[in-house]
Amino acid sequence: MNKPTGSSQQLSKLDLTARVSSKDYQAGIADLQTRFIKIQQAYLKTGDAGAVVFEGWDAAGKGGAIRRMASVMDPRGFRVWPIGAPTPEDARKHYLARFWERLPKTGEIAVFDRSWYGRVLVERVEGLADEAAWRRAYDEINMFEKMLVDKGMHIAKVFLYIDRDEQLKRFEKRLHDPLKRWKLSFEDFRNRAKWDEYEAAVDEMLARTDTAHAPWHLVPANQKDFARLSALGEVAGRLAAGVDLAPRPLDPELEARFKAEITG
């Protein structure tokens, strides 16, 4: 089994001043969306499958990045799974069971808006899993991801981070925007009170689960445009690795049938 790389990635080392210009963002996001279309078309031909994990701070921009990807994907081969607290039925099974059930089939891409990493993040910090359970989970997750990669699945893992001040600004915007107010809850403010505990949990997660077969991509997300380009660039790169993205050649019989149709 591939072991963790001993990643030196830490939240405190991120350059939160990272920015891109509006012009560069517009050009970059257009190129990435075209690339996602090519990736999905290729998967339908090759039978590849991809699983994308988005983790990050509340209001760090996970949803915005996912929407820019989803907007150009055919829903017949693309699913977004928003992951919340486990149901009572989920709690009766191994915590990975509900993720096994949502993994993409051949030719499909699945995006997890939060994921199996909840066991070593929110469940750890909030005391929803005992220490033995969340410590055991690092090896379980590494083995889980290794099995998927060995079977041929592409995995991309992205973590978006913002600082306290930026998060509070985004909370304020949500509070005063009737169309975004639903995103804000008392739980968001409760999580802020445990900021340092969450940072420690993330840093340990990076150290223990940043593997050669499924590396983490850590994104400074104080500017949304930069974060989207960085996150989606990583996702596109991981999903496209080793895949022939050339479009299918024109079927001569199909072309002949079309010509017959238009000539009557």
pLDDT band at 1 (very low <50, low <70, confident <90, very high): very low
Question: Tell me: the pLDDT tens digits for 22-44?
Answer: 999 999 999 999 999 999 999 99
pLDDT surpassing 60 at residue 97:
yes
Q: How far apart are the first and last CA of the chain?
A: 62
Q: How many Cβ atoms sit within 10 Å of the Cβ of residue 34?
A: 12
pLDDT band at 167 (very low <50, low <70, confident <90, very high): very high
Residues 88-94: what's their mean pLDDT? Answer: 93
Q: What is the pLDDT of residue 5?
A: 62
Cα dihedral 34, 76, 66, 54, rounded to 10, equals -120
pLDDT confidence of residue 67: 97
Q: Please report which confidence band the pLDDT of residue 224 belongs to, taking 50, 70 and 90 as the band edges.
A: very high
> φ, ψ for residue 220 (rounded to 5)?
-75, 120
Q: Rg of the Cα trace of the chain?
A: 20
Q: What tens digit of pLDDT does each residue of 127-166 get?
A: 999 999 999 999 999 999 999 999 999 999 999 999 999 9
State mean pLDDT over 5-12.
77
What lies within 8 Å, CB to CB, of 136 at 6+ separation is none
Which H or E element spans position 136?
A: helix 131-150
The confidence score (pLDDT) of residue 248 equals 84
Residue 196 CA neighbour count, 13 Å, CB half? 0
